[in-house]
Structure 1
Amino acid sequence: MKRLSLIALTLLMGVQLSACNTMQGLGQDIKKGGEAIERAADKAAS
């Protein structure tokens, strides 16, 4: 299950990064990706 979540997050981050056109958008995408990783880590720790 952890591996599947990691793969899904990686794919989602790739889609988000490919969709951004500006440096501001890139910053937002990275922030959202970090938040998603945090949520996944919190969920795995519970």
Structure 2
Amino acid sequence: MFTNLRRTFGVALATLFLLGLAGCNTMEGVGKDVESAGEAIEEKAQGDDE
């Protein structure tokens, strides 16, 4: 039972990863996306401290 669940979860995770990677045309695009997400999180965290 857990084997099927693990397999399904693995396939879903791999699919999401590949779709996310396909959304960025290059590794440079991935870096920019990650940097942008990090900056947004940082700005949100700093805004909540005030």
Report 1 or 2 for greater relative contact order, CA contacts < 8 Å, sequence distance ≥ 6: 1
Identity fraction in percent? 45
Pick from 37, 44, 48 the counterpart of residue 40 of structure 1.
44
1:6 aligned partner: none
RMSD: 1.7
| Runs of 4+ with deviation above 4 angstroms | none
Q: Which runs of 5+ in 1 are unaligned?
A: 1-17
Once residues 49 and 29 of structure 2 are traced to their aligned partners in structure 1, the CA distance between those partners, rounded to angstroms, is 30
Structure 2, unpaired ranges of 5+: 1-19
TM-score normalized with structure 2 length: 0.53
Report how many aligned residue pairs link the two structures: 30
Match of 2:28 in 1: 24
| Rg larger in structure | 2
